[in-house]
Amino acid sequence: MTKRIRIRDIATEAGVSAGAVSRALKGQPGLKEETRQRILTIARQQGYDFTRLRNDKLRRVLFLLHRQHNISSALTFYSPLLLGVENACRDAGIALSFLALGPTDAVEEQVRLHDPDALLCAGFFEPELLAALRNMQLPLALIDLWAPGLPSVNPDNLQGGYLATRHLIAQGRTRIAFLASSLAHYSIRLREKGYRQALYEAKLLTPPEYEAIAPPLLDTESSLVSAVEELLALPQRPDAIFAYNDSAALIAIRVCQQHGVKVPEEIAIVGFDDIDTASVAHPPLSTIAIDKASLGRSGLQLLIDGARDDEQQLLPVRLVARQSAGEGLN
C-alpha cells in the first residue's frame, strides 16, 4: 500500500514547521512567497494529494492514553478531558477515536487501524514511545505533557504546586511532605518545583525523607501506601502532605485513618486535579482545580491551527479549599 504523504513529511523535507506547510497548502498569509513556492514544489514532488485540502482539514483524530495507567482510576481525570476533546471535535466535524498504547505494542500497526489524520497524546509517554509516534509523520500534539519539538498544552503545574503548599503554610503547617508516584513525569516535576519554591519563600527547611517518592512496585496504589506508611513511621512525622494528585491524596487520607492519625487535625492533606471524588471524601479534600474540558479543547485546537512545533500553552489553575464541619480546613 502506498504511504500517504502527510504535512509533516513535507515539513521535514522543507525544513519548516507543520504549521508553515499547512498555511502554504491552504494559501493562507504569513509566509514569504519564496517559502510558499518551495513548500508547494516539495509537496508535488512527494505526491501529496491536493484534493484532500479543505477548510476542515482534519477529519479523524486519535486520542492516545498510555497503557501503564490504571485506566479505570486514570479516567477520573481523563474522562472530562476526553469529553472536552470530543465536544470540540463534534463542533469542528472531526471524528474522534481512542487508543490505550504501550511501548511494547506494535505502535504503527495499532495507530493505522484508526486511519487518523492527527494524534493527541494525553499524560505520560516515555521518549521512546513518543519517538515511535513521531516517526509516523502525523501531526501530533501533547496534553498534560511536554517534549521538545512538539506543541503542548498543560495546566500551570508550577503555580499549582506553589498554591497548594502556600495553603498548607497558611494553616500553620511547617513539616510539609511531598508525595508522588515518580518524578519522571513532566507535570509532577513542576508540581514538586512549586512545592519547593513555596517552602523556600517561607524559609522552611524539610528533611529529604519528606520527599516521599513511591517505591517502584508493580501496583501504583501499593507503592503509594508504602510511601505514606514510611512518612508516618518517621521519628518526627510531617504535619501536612501535598500529594501530586487527588488519587494519591485520597490514598494518603485512608492510610492515615487506618493508623489512627486524624486528618486534618494531625496531618493536613492537599491534592491536585479536583476530581469528582475530592469533594465527597471524608474529610473533603482541598485541591488544585484544573479545567479539564478546556485542557482537552485546547489540545485539539493546537492540531486544528497547525501549531508551531515549539508552541506551549499554560492554562490557569486555582486552589479549592474545602472545610469539613468541626474539623477545620483540610
Spatial contact of 130 and 146, defined as CB atoms under 8 Å apart: no
pLDDT at 135: 86
Q: List, for residues 12-54, the tens digit of each pLDDT value.
A: 899 998 878 877 876 666 788 889 889 989 988 988 876 555 4
User: What's the predicted TM-score (pTM) here?
Assistant: 0.80
Specify the CATH class of 7-53 in words. Answer: mainly alpha
Q: Give which of 126, 133, 123 is closest to 82, Cα–Cα.
A: 123
Q: List, for residues 182-205, the tens digit of each pLDDT value.
A: 888 899 999 999 999 999 999 999
The residue ranges of every structural domain in the chain are: 7-53, 60-154+293-315, 157-291+319-325
How many angstroms separate the CA atoms of 151 and 311, rounded? 5
Position 137 confidence tier, pLDDT thresholds 50, 70, 90: confident
How many angstroms separate the CA atoms of 243 and 260, rounded? 20
CA dist 311 → 21, 33, 107, 291 (Å): 16, 24, 25, 20
Q: Of 66-70, 223-227, 249-253, 261-265, give the lowest mean pLDDT range.
A: 66-70
pLDDT at 103: 87
What grid cell was written down for 11?
A: 515539513
**Burial of 78: CB neighbours in 10 Å, binned 0-12, 13-18, 19+:** buried
Look at residue 66 and give its three-state secondary structure.
strand
Single-letter amino acid code for the residue at 330: N
pLDDT at 50: 67
Q: Give which of 311, 320, 315 is closest to 158, Cα–Cα.
A: 315
CATH architecture, domain 60-154+293-315: 3-Layer(aba) Sandwich (3.40)
Please report which helix (H) or strand (E) contains residue 269, including its range: strand 268-270
CATH architecture, domain 157-291+319-325: 3-Layer(aba) Sandwich (3.40)
What grid cell was written down for 35?
A: 517559502
How many angstroms separate the CA atoms of 323 and 57, rounded? 48
Asked if the domains 60-154+293-315 and 157-291+319-325 are classified in one and the same CATH topology, the answer is yes
